[in-house]
């Protein structure tokens, strides 16, 4: 009997967890982060609020786990066709599509705002999502450096941030639209400053 009960309990827990995640993501888009509550998430998910508090200490923690639950691993890295500019444009265009998706925007903006006032939440968000994402750009830049596409003196971490930071800033602060034309121009301008210097 004990062997049958444990899997059932595990499945119930997973169903509840998934329902809580779905509720948190849908509600933050409907009411915004400020009006998002544990009670509201529990009601939408059909669970008791104590179930949520047993697993998470705050609504920010729930939202972080909900938002990152289905993030694919970065093990595959960025494509490497031998053309760094083309590879960066391809990935950043896809990222622009994602950032422009209304369902994706609400939780990301909520977490960014909450993280500004919560150092622990911000650190977890950076560790779980931002750093792995930056790392794949760093690795692709390093491969390009080894292939001679960018100069040997270039700090590849800074180079990756030169591409990603303006992209994120434009979206987060709404200083302009994230378009394919913007992405292409950004990549071209950054790489123009990273190419190997002509020997004297």
CATH no. for residue 17?
Answer: 1.10.357.10
| pLDDT tens profile 118-166 | 888 888 888 888 898 899 999 999 999 999 999 999 999 999 999 999 9
Same domain, residue pair 110 and 12: no
pLDDT given for residue 159 in this prediction: 97
pLDDT given for residue 76 in this prediction: 62
pTM over 0.85: no
Among 26, 14, 16, 195, which Cα is nearest to 106's?
Answer: 26
Cα separation, 155 vs 151, in Å, equals 9
Rg (CA), the chain: 21
Query: Residue 43 sits in which domain range?
Result: 2-67
Same domain, residue pair 180 and 96: yes
pLDDT given for residue 109 in this prediction: 84
pLDDT given for residue 152 in this prediction: 95
Average pLDDT for consecutive 10-residue bins of the chain (200 residues)? 50 86 90 90 94 91 84 70 96 93 83 82 86 94 96 96 95 94 98 82
For the residues of 125-143, what is the DSSP string, one character each?
HIIIIIHHHHHHHHHHHHH
pLDDT given for residue 71 in this prediction: 60
Cα separation, 140 vs 80, in Å, equals 7
How does 96-131 read in b/e, with b if 16+ C-beta sit within 10 Å? beebeeeeeebbbbbbeebbeebeebbebbeeebee
How does 23-54 read in b/e, with b if 16+ C-beta sit within 10 Å? bbbbbbbeeebeebebebbbebbebeeebbee
Domain count, the chain: 2
Same domain, residue pair 132 and 107: yes
Cα separation, 180 vs 197, in Å, equals 28
Q: Is residue 132 part of a domain?
A: yes
């Amino acid at each position: 009997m004990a062997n049958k009960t444990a899997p059932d309990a595990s499945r119930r827990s997973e169903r509840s967890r998934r329902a809580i995640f779905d509720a948190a993501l849908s509600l933050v888009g409907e009411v915004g982060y400020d009006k998002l509550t544990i009670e509201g998430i529990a009601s939408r998910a059909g669970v008791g609020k104590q179930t949520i508090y047993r697993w998470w200490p705050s609504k920010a923690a729930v939202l972080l786990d909900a938002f990152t639950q289905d993030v694919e691993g970065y093990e595959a890295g960025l494509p490497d066709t031998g053309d760094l500019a083309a590879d960066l444009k391809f990935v950043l265009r896809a990222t622009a599509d994602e950032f422009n998706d209304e369902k994706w925007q609400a939780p990301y903006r909520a977490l960014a705002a909450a993280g500004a006032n919560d150092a622990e939440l911000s650190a977890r968000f950076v560790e779980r999502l931002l750093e792995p994402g930056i790392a794949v750009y760093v690795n692709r830049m390093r491969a390009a450096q080894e292939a001679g596409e960018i100069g040997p003196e270039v700090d590849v971490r800074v180079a990756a941030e030169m591409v990603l930071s303006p992209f994120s800033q434009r979206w987060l602060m709404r200083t302009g639209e994230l378009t394919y034309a913007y992405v292409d121009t950004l990549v071209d301008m950054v790489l123009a400053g990273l190419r190997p210097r002509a020997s004297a």
